[in-house]
Structure 1
Amino acid sequence: MNTFSRIKTLAAATLLACAAAPALAADLVPIKFSLNSSISADAAPYLLALERGYFKQAGLDVTIDASSGSGEAVTRVASGVYQMGSADFATLVEFAGRQPAVSPKAVLVVYDRAPQAVISLAAANIKKPADLVGKTVGGGTTDGPARLFPALLASAGVSKDAVKWRQVSPQIRDSMLLTKQVDAVVGNDYTTWFNLKPRGLKPEDVNILEYADFGLDVYSNSIIASQAMLKDDPDAVKRFVAAAMKGWQDAIADPQAAAKTLTNRDKLIDGPLEAERLAWVLDHKVKTPHALKYGIGSIDPQRMEKNIATVAESFGLPSVPSVATVYDGRFAPGK
């Protein structure tokens, strides 16, 4: 039995135990879950778990909401308005370095490879971070790629003042790149590339500089939980993770079915494109060699410690959070 099959079996067993004694609606534990973006491909596995009743089988009443980015997702969970969410790991570390007393913790790392990237048209000839000097780069405010961009520059030895930053909303960011109002944009590679592809661009028409290839091989999208939730009801967190992982396993088995959950929410979403985007995410960010060997959610403590130190130094954090401050390993595979 391969690693993914074992994880699927464990998740199914957890849900089966919950389903053996079905709870009344009034007995379901309410959990508000914040996505780290708008409704798009990386939300599909959670929506699939919701539609197929996995959360309810686990005794949970889950509500899933979009957000403007990882910064908002982390803040929502820290405030207690949301109990759990999906957020970029580096954004979580930054928050923990400034507000450790209320910072949420990652309970499962889903993306073993970071999706943050600098994307430009090939004509701009931007092939490494140093090529950004004198260029105008567009990005958001609360999303992970924008918040981590200064860390990329610092890691590459590029002065932040040497690059012109233009704050733009994610909704118009990629259009501004196409119309050459900016020389490059920062975003998740699977977001920007699949936004550009329907406009007729081919892979050779763009340059994608992945942060992970330039000193920032940082864990990325993770399931996070509030400190209160981890303290008061860790069993509910465990059941949420099991149900969510069943959604991810179903998405791996059938990306098109997972993508359909997006069009069920918004008829204007391009289902086939989102299915292609999701398959790309799974192949490039989730099913890495490490995850294939040890399971989705398995982490290397030394790598995580190094990630934290890199983010803390790059962001100039007042303190360097410990692994225990930002990560609760009780919910990883095999626990």
Structure 2
Amino acid sequence: MRRLTRTVAAATMATALAMVSACSSGSDDADDNGVGSSLEQVTYLTSFGNFGRDAYAWVAKEKGYFKDAGFEVEIKPGQGTGSIIQTVVGGQAHFGPIDLTGGLLQFGNGEAKDFVAVAAIQQRTMAAIATVEGTGINTPKDLEGKKLADTPGSVVRNLFPTYARLAGIDYTKVTWVNGEAQTLMGTLASGSVDGIGQFVVGQPTIETVTKKKAVMLPYSNVMQDLYGNVLITSKQIATEKPEMVKRFSAALLKGLEYALANPQEAAEILAKNAEAVNPAAAAAELELMAGYVRSSNSGTALGTLDSGRVAKSIAILRGAGALKSDLTPEQIIDFSLAPAA
């Protein structure tokens, strides 16, 4: 009987010690931000394929910024504004960057809903038409009679009628054909099209692929108040998990800041994770992008969004006849989740 009592007591003590050990282990593994040891699975889409302009997401992952914020992030190549909105709203991804002007057009014209912007990536639009020397395109007017390629949901393509009106182009005289993010530059190099929709920072990569000098026609030359890319998520996630959105945005913007300060290292991180990346061209893209990310007001925090500027963008689009219905900045941006100015 005494032996049985001693055995039960020993077993009870062992169980108690195991429980204490487990609790101690869980406490040691807990992250400083309070999210606990288990990482939340998140899918993130790049803006357009895997180019230098999107290297900051890979930097945030490589440097552990996502992990420190409590996330295990899968990064997938995006295919432009329209596709990213559909994928995020449809629940196949949690976050992705879209061109804000493209988002305004999609929302205001009833082509998309249930998404919100939560941080700015670029303070000015980088949308542009890109071509190379020898195509006869040197000014916006030269685009008439030419054939351009882009993805169907790209902001460059969707915003083109507005750009054309403001630049004095008859957009009905320009032919658009469909392309994919990763093959557009090759299409331009082959000579099968005269130009492509592209961000201005794509110039180094275009010259690397085509072996020719690039000619860029930036939309910002005629539309100066437009933001560039903004980070979006679904309205459902923004409503149900606001703190999660803030943590993710902060980690991503930390990656953006590091990538701009260390473009060569960021390009090498991108090349390690994505095929067919030219590190030199990717680094050059990041160097060009820095001027679009930083606000003209050096004291403004990275990622901020200004309601007044967004209202001006809406007014520009309305004035050009590009929006079928009026809307307010608050309908597309959750300012409570965006970084404070």
Q: Calculate the TM-score normalised by the size of structure 1.
A: 0.83
The answer for the alignment partner of 2:218 in structure 1 is 210
User: Does residue 114 of structure 2 align to residue 114 of structure 1?
Assistant: no
Tell me the percent identity: 25
Deviations 1:181-208 (A, max 9, x none): 333322112225422245433xxx4431
Against the structure 1 CA distance between its residues 163 and 241, is the aligned structure 2 distance closer, same or farther, given a 3 Å change threshold? same
- Asked if structure 1 preserves the Cα contact closer than 8 Å seen for 2:124 and 2:224, the reply is no
Give CA-to-partner distance per residue, 1:190-245, whole Å, 9 cap, x none: 225422245433xxx44311100023541111111110111101000111111111
One-letter code aligned to 2:325 = S
Aligned to 2:69: 58
Whether the 8 Å CA contact 2:108–2:326 is kept in 1: the answer is: yes
SS in 2 for 1:244: helix
Shift of residue 328 of structure 1?
1.2
Contact 1:100-1:325 within 8 A present in 2 as well: no
Matched positions, count: 312
* Residue 102 to residue 124, structure 1, CA distance change in 2 (3 Å): closer
Secondary structure of 1:64 counterpart: strand
Alignment of 1:181-192 (within 5 A): 181-192=192-203
Pick from 147, 150, 154 the counterpart of residue 136 of structure 1. Answer: 147
Alignment of 1:210-289 (within 5 A): 210-215=218-223, 217-282=225-290, 284-289=291-296
Contact 1:36–1:68 (8 Å) recurs in 2: yes
Higher mean alpha-carbon deviation, 120-129 vs 35-44, is at: 120-129
Structure 2: gaps spanning 5 or more residues: 1-29
3-state SS of paired residue (1:330)? coil
Report if aligned partners of 2:253, 2:303 keep a CA contact under 8 Å in 1. Answer: no
Provide the aligned C-alpha RMSD in A.
Answer: 2.5
What letter corresponds to residue 333 of structure 1 in structure 2?
P
Taking a change above 3 Å as real, the CA distance of residues 240 and 150 of structure 1, as seen in their structure-2 partners, is same
8 A Cα contact 2:42 2:72, kept in partner: yes
The answer on whether the counterparts of 1:140 and 1:168 sit within 8 Å (CA) in structure 2 is yes
Structure 1 pair 18–226 and aligned structure 2 pair: CA distance change class (3 A):
farther
**In structure 2, how many angstroms separate the alpha carbons of the residues matched to 1:217 and 1:82?**
29
Letter in 1 for 2:292: K
Please name the residue that 1:19 is paired with: 32
Question: TM-score, normalization: structure 2?
Answer: 0.82
**Structure index of larger Rg:** 2
> Does the Cα contact within 8 Å between 1:29 and 1:236 map onto a contact in 2?
no
Rate the CA distance shift 1:258–1:193 in 2: closer, same or farther, 3 A: closer
SS in 2 for 1:152: helix
Which residue of the partner structure matches residue 334 of structure 1? 340
In the TM superposition, 1:106-185 aligns within 5 A as 106-185=117-196
Question: 1-side partners of 2:275 and 2:107: how far apart?
Answer: 38
2:203–2:214 contact (8 Å) kept in structure 1: no
Name the structure, 1 or 2, with higher relative contact order (CA <8 Å, separation 6+).
1
